[in-house]
A and B are shown apart, each in its own frame.
Chain A
């Protein structure tokens, strides 16, 4: 059965609308950011809110109870209209899980039009665990026993790259320079100033070897998608919509031998040998297999640059280059605008700061604008295939492939 007119793919859903609330530190409720993004996505799709069959909210753990039931919170704020609802949480991968849930409903025929929304209002300073004494919670334990903030894990990964691959702090700084220049062109980014390598090098060390400008901030923001079946898109007059062709939400395989947030130790590989590929590499491979493409088919990639060094890691995990060649790929300009495979044309987390449940959705917004060729000064010429990738703590993979 060819649901979209002949190419044989039956697992696509259409991205009919996208919307974002600008990232920043606005000091307001996540509900406000999420509903603003939802309204923008509805307007972009040319749909009215009562047309929506289902709402999937990506949860925030920072908004109290309304944050845990984000789907219903947004539905109520937009005005109860009877849509079915779901709320999902997967840390940084929450947005991708929301997209996966929406897609499953559409492909199962349970809904024609699904609104996906994620939004967060971030505190000042480091993320911290939920309150109370909870010695059975690894996230609580890593703070209590080690004071191991998220940036310390980023520091461990960065130092490991320096030791194993010969990356330098100057390589890391070049990631920030690239992403800041792109963020300067993005009206939704929080940081819109270009940054020099000298400015990165002059910023304070947070978690050796990473400096303040190597590490993403935490932000307020909201992002939304209007997803629908290809039939609905056609009936709605969208002849050639951007289509989501794969959503990877895989988990690690035992033994997971790369120290992962928020864990204090890896799995032991003494009884079972470590898998041939790392968890992060499996996230992308699964997306490629589902979409029937490979890294050579990509026009662009949006990856989770929690730190500058992690962006280089993603180059390798996405197969854009061989292991240990991420810095070389960057230095060649392959991942910059005009390069072979531009990465983080949105400006990335370096320019946005992380609004956890919104971020994986925002990645798809950027890919959608690129595939529609409406990304303005950030546009990748002739963009046809885009991928997003991220990883949520506690073992959540997230990758979306979109095509046009």
Chain B
């Protein structure tokens, strides 16, 4: 049986492979960018508020900081309690042109030992978890040049 690939959160990212991008919104009046997307009103307190248009965010950025999760997080994070817990790294990435820091998991196999603050990373599609019918997809960060 084939599982349906479904984003774990709606309208936060789009595309496949090299075309994969995080999606934010931008105020057409003041040019502030929002991620997670802001669809109702610009949050810049000095802006009267313009229409918010969807924009793809930069594909690459630099590591602001990183850490990992050595213990199993509680629900609603989904993990199989029957399998040993496999720690994964989390990276906060600074996107230069948007002047924003976005948190994400790393791709599987990358650990904190592989990371340094300031390192360039790129956003790639990944799998958050799977159930009987659905593969829940997400965004992940990967050091640039790593193809594994």
Interface residues of A (CB under 8 A from B): 125-126, 128-129, 133, 135, 138, 140-149, 152, 155-160, 163-164, 204-210, 254-255, 257, 259, 263-272
Say yes or no: A135-B10 contact (C-beta < 8 A), given A156-B67, A207-B70, A265-B36: yes
Judge whether A143 and B67 touch: CB under 8 Å: no
Say yes or no: A146-B66 contact (C-beta < 8 A), given A125-B74, A206-B71, A267-B43: no
Which residues of A are found within 8 Å of B51, using beta-carbon distances? Answer: none
A-B contact pairs, 26 of them (CB 8 A): A126-B73, A126-B74, A133-B76, A135-B9, A146-B90, A147-B73, A149-B69, A149-B74, A155-B90, A156-B64, A156-B92, A156-B103, A159-B117, A163-B118, A207-B67, A254-B43, A259-B64, A259-B92, A264-B102, A267-B100, A268-B35, A269-B100, A270-B32, A270-B33, A271-B44, A271-B47
Say yes or no: A148-B74 contact (C-beta < 8 A), given A156-B65, A270-B31, A270-B98: no
| Nearest B-chain residue to A158, judged by Cβ | B67
Tier of interface size on chain B: 35 or more
Say yes or no: A204-B117 contact (C-beta < 8 A), given A146-B103, A271-B27: no
Task: Please report the number of residue pairs spanning A and B whose Cβ atoms sit closer than 8 angstroms.
Answer: 148
Cα distance, A312 to B90, chains bound together (Å): 23
Which residues of A are found within 8 Å of B8, using beta-carbon distances? Answer: 144-145
Say yes or no: A271-B30 contact (C-beta < 8 A), given A155-B67, A207-B69, A265-B103: yes
Considering only residues 43-59 of chain B, those with a C-beta below 8 Å from chain A are 43-47
Cα distance, A206 to B72, chains bound together (Å): 10
Choose one: B32, B65, B104; the contact of A268 (CB below 8 Å): B32
Cα distance, A272 to B29, chains bound together (Å): 12
Say yes or no: A259-B32 contact (C-beta < 8 A), given A145-B8, A208-B70: no
Cα distance, A156 to B74, chains bound together (Å): 19
Judge whether B9 and A155 touch: CB under 8 Å: no
Cα distance, A116 to B93, chains bound together (Å): 41
Cα distance, A9 to B141, chains bound together (Å): 54
Which residues of A are found within 8 Å of B66, using beta-carbon distances? Answer: 156, 159, 208
Which residues of A are found within 8 Å of B138, using beta-carbon distances? Answer: 145
Judge whether B32 and A265 touch: CB under 8 Å: no
Interface 1/0s, chain B 84-115, versus A by CB < 8 A? Answer: 00001110100001111111110000001000
| Nearest A-chain residue to B105, judged by Cβ | A146
Asked whether any CB of chain A lies closer than 8 Å to the CB of B75, the reply is: yes
Cα distance, A259 to B47, chains bound together (Å): 22
Cα distance, A148 to B66, chains bound together (Å): 12
Which residues of B are found within 8 Å of A146, using beta-carbon distances? Answer: 77, 90, 103-105
Taking the closest CB of chain A, its distance from the CB of B18, in whole angstroms, is 22
Taking the closest CB of chain B, its distance from the CB of A348, in whole angstroms, is 22
| Nearest B-chain residue to A253, judged by Cβ | B45
